[in-house]
Amino acid sequence: MIERVRQRVVITGRVQGVFFRDSTRREAARRGVAGWVRNRGDGAVEAVFEGPPDEVEALVAFCRRGPRGAVVDDVRTLEEEPEGLTGFEVR
């Protein structure tokens, strides 16, 4: 069985209105990572990534940069127990 990890990520800065969610969805699909991403009411973006450790870490690294136009001030991560998510959705 392939090892899976889960990370919850909260990204702050200028991260809404710059295609952060769609860029994250495309990156997750490319890497075979499941989960979701959403805008929060406080201006942050929140995401959950589940998949192989290296691929999840690569997605967290992507969030530290963000897509073109984003200005990332901070990325907080929280390790959680995998739930067996499949697919990736923008909420």
What residues are annotated to the active site?
21, 39
DSSP structure string for the chain: ----EEEEEEEEEE-SSSSHHHHHHHHHHHHT-EEEEEE-TTS-EEEEEEE-HHHHHHHHHHHHH-STT-EEEEEEEEEE------SEEE-
